[in-house]
Structure 1
Amino acid sequence: MAGRQREEMQDVTLLGNQGVKYKFGYDPDILESFDNKHPDNDYWVKFNCPEFTSLCPITGQPDFATIYISYIPGEKMVESKSLKLYLFSFRNHGDFHEDCVNIIMKDLIKLMDPKYIEVWGKFTPRGGISIDPYCNYGKAGTKFEQMAEHRLMNHDMYPEKVDNR
């Protein structure tokens, strides 16, 4: 890696590290970020995580979901391997579906301070019902604050095909 690129990625320690250990308890400290090379451009970064698992806090039964994370970066971006390990850390974490997506969003806001972010969990049915919580955030005092309100008020009016159940 060239010297400048190595310097820009100094906070990224998990990518390419073959000795990474998976954590089996919720751990937001796993998340890593790197500098956005295009902070003046508004563009989407989307992650689809079809193998998310957590535990029901009451029964201890596993819950399975596809987690969709979409954001418009500011100065920082989340490194994808750290995101994978972070999402894996929910494996033995007991929280309701709604809590999981809000925790994920808040941890990513703390890490990156994005212009805009949304997290949508599409959980597989258990007991004959599925739960699909959605949350979003737009940076206060910017056009993204109004965008967040608009997207929340119009969310799921035209639902896409759900393919994880």
Structure 2
Amino acid sequence: MAGRSEQDLQGVTLLGNQGTKYVFEYSPDILETFDNKHPDRDYFVKFNCPEFTSLCPMTGQPDFATIYISYIPDVRMVESKSLKLYLFSFRNHGDFHEDCVNVIMNDLIALMEPRYIEVWGKFTPRGGISIDPYCNWGRPGTKYERMADHRLMNHDMYPEKVDNR
């Protein structure tokens, strides 16, 4: 199977660009997509992002997390370099942990219109407590909506080992 054609990558401007500019304020406009070459098949795409940072909206102190993003694409997929730059744009963004993961999920839903998506933030402890918000979404009226309900109700029954703390 051949690689991606120029037509497949229309709208992808950051990949391979050596003049990358890092945005230090929340910027969903940086996200880019490309066509899913396998829209007839359900499959997961998972991103593990161990260097996420944002700011506590109350203290201005940095918060550190590993963000896990898993989704079942439909027609469009998120381009990974744009996702990296988008997540970097939270660096000076003040929001609670729960808000960060929901904002990320909402932005990716608006961008790609996936069949299913989940975002899980595993934040390092501050003040002796870690916060690990999880959110998900499945396309309404489909099996993915039922999948989202099931995964939400069962997502932490068997907690995995967390090694970012």
* TM-score (norm: length of structure 1): 0.97
Amino acid at match of 1:76: R
The 3-state SS of whatever aligns with 1:29 is helix
Q: Is 1:70–2:70 an aligned residue pair?
A: yes
- State the percentage of identical aligned residues: 83
Match for residue 123 of structure 1? 123
Match for residue 99 of structure 2? 99
Return the alpha-carbon distance in structure 2 between the equivalents of residues 141 and 30 of structure 1. Answer: 30
Match for residue 6 of structure 1? 6
Deviation at 1:10, TM superposition (A): 1.1
Match for residue 141 of structure 1? 141
Q: Is 1:28–2:24 an aligned residue pair?
A: no
Match for residue 54 of structure 2? 54
Return the alpha-carbon distance in structure 1 between the equivalents of residues 109 and 23 of structure 2. Answer: 21
Return the alpha-carbon distance in structure 2 between the equivalents of residues 40 and 100 of structure 1. Answer: 31
- Runs (4 or more) in structure 1 with deviation over 6 Å come to none
* TM-score (norm: length of structure 2): 0.97
Match for residue 44 of structure 1? 44
Match for residue 161 of structure 2? 161
Amino acid at match of 1:147: M
Deviation at 1:141, TM superposition (A): 1.0
Return the alpha-carbon distance in structure 2 between the equivalents of residues 46 and 8 of structure 1. Answer: 21
Deviation at 1:135, TM superposition (A): 0.1
Match for residue 88 of structure 1? 88
Deviation at 1:6, TM superposition (A): 0.4
Q: Which runs of 5+ in 2 are unaligned?
A: none
> How many correspondences in the alignment?
163
The 3-state SS of whatever aligns with 1:82 is helix
Deviation at 1:20, TM superposition (A): 1.2
Deviation at 1:62, TM superposition (A): 0.1
